[in-house]
Amino acid sequence: MSEIPGSIILNGIPYQGGDLVRLARKLKEESPAAWEQALGAFLLQWTGSADFMEVFTSGSTGAPAARNVSKKAMVASARMTVMHFSLREGSNALLCLSTTTIAGMMMVVRAMVQRMNLITVPPGGSPLEHVTDETGIDFAAMVPAQVYNSLQVPEEALKLQSIGTLIIGGAPLTPVLERKLEMLPGNFFATYGMTETLSHIAVRRLNGPFRSREFTTLPGITPGTDARGCLTAAVPFIEGGTIVTNDMVRMTSAGTFEWLGRADFVINCGGRKLHPEQIERKAAQIIEGNLFVTGLPDEKLGEVPVLVLEVVEIPETNAVTGMLDRLKTVLIREEMPRKILFSRKFAYTESGKINRNESMKTVVRDLD
């Protein structure tokens, strides 16, 4: 197990060997904060004798499932990220994601692998409120909701822009958020990955002259597609070597692709396949707030798209009619939702994704 790092710099203090184990146990057993307990539990697992870690899938398309992943594979993934972003020893990395998720776990492993100073803050919606103005963050990972919230507070927005490299994943970015990031200084990247790939295997630049709609795979990753048009990827450090996804993509070169949407979310409307995520991206230009598109059975067409909005109050009929009229300016006829449905509270996964199936159970009313 000599390949597995057994030391960490945590909030400026180095720990290794017995000191690290004692810290982990103290966090797990004595901390009043659940996120610190989770960090302690992760560190105890990591410093244990087993070659594997237990991780859970995100649960965005079903119940979260436990998986055993190799510590060596996690180290290999961490090194891939460190090399791609040229992260330096001694730099500051921000941990603002729960270590019950692969994203949070991998931030810890990257800090260990590259001997970065890991700064820990609560993994809430506004993590930068806990970062002092004097603390320079060289590398961080956030979910879109954390980025959005940070941009609403001027002091936090300045801290966000000063981060050396910020990777954003866990859920798709809304067009509104992406447009805001395009205009800002800094180095912002969207990531593509999943628990099975041990965090991201591809990134795309969100701002600056090299911003793109296309993801570029990291060194050593070989992408492809299957008969469905879904992404496959040869990932040398995972068991089996190749992963087959349910993400439909358009390959643009040997190492780049454009993400279209989930195959299991596709709406078959009169023989035409509609990608809800593409409709959502257009709809978000017109309608503010959290939303998603899904398909409902239709006697004539098989399925038709409907738009589901998260709202505090159900709008009046004339307001809904106005929404539909505005949507006609950005959507083609086949994409137009046949109904707008409303929910006062969506269900979300821990990584911030909308759980569509669970959210449909909270729909309280539909209006034509």
Q: What is the mean pLDDT of residues 140-149?
A: 93
pLDDT classification of 29: cutoffs 50, 70, 90: very high
What lies within 8 Å, CB to CB, of 263 at 6+ separation is: 228, 229, 230, 246, 247, 248
What value does the CA radius of gyration of the chain take, rounded to a whole number of Å? 21
Task: Determine the pLDDT at residue 1.
Answer: 42
- pLDDT value at position 368? 37
pLDDT in tens, 283-317: 988 898 889 999 999 888 899 999 999 998 888 99
Q: Which sign does the torsion angle of CA 294, 310, 330, 185 carry?
A: negative
Mean pLDDT of the chain: 91
pLDDT value at residue 351: 65
Alpha helices in the chain (DSSP H): 17-30, 34-47, 71-84, 102-114, 144-151, 154-162, 175-182, 276-283, 317-327, 356-360
Cα 270 from chain centroid? 32
Q: Which two tokens stand for residue 248?
A: 């439909």
Q: Which residue has the tokens 């079903």?
A: 62
Q: Which of 247, 249, 250, 245 is nearest to 234 (CA)?
A: 245
| pLDDT band, very low/low/confident/very high, at 366 (cuts 50, 70, 90) | very low
pLDDT exceeds 60 at position 60? no
| 172 confidence band (pLDDT: 50, 70, 90) | confident
pTM for this predicted structure:
0.85
Average pLDDT over residues 192-215: 94
DSSP state of 153: S
At residue 367, the pLDDT reads 37
Residue 181 to residue 177: CA distance in whole angstroms: 6
Unique residue bearing structure tokens 């509609």: 274
Does the structure show a pLDDT above 80 at 2? no
Looking at this protein, which amino acid is placed at residue 184? Answer: L
**What structural domains and CATH numbers belong to the chain?**
7-218 (3.40.50.12780), 266-367 (3.30.300.30)
- Give the mean model confidence (pLDDT) for residues 131-146: 93
Instruction: Give the pLDDT confidence of 219-247 residue by residue, as tens digits.
Output: 999 999 999 999 999 999 988 889 999 99
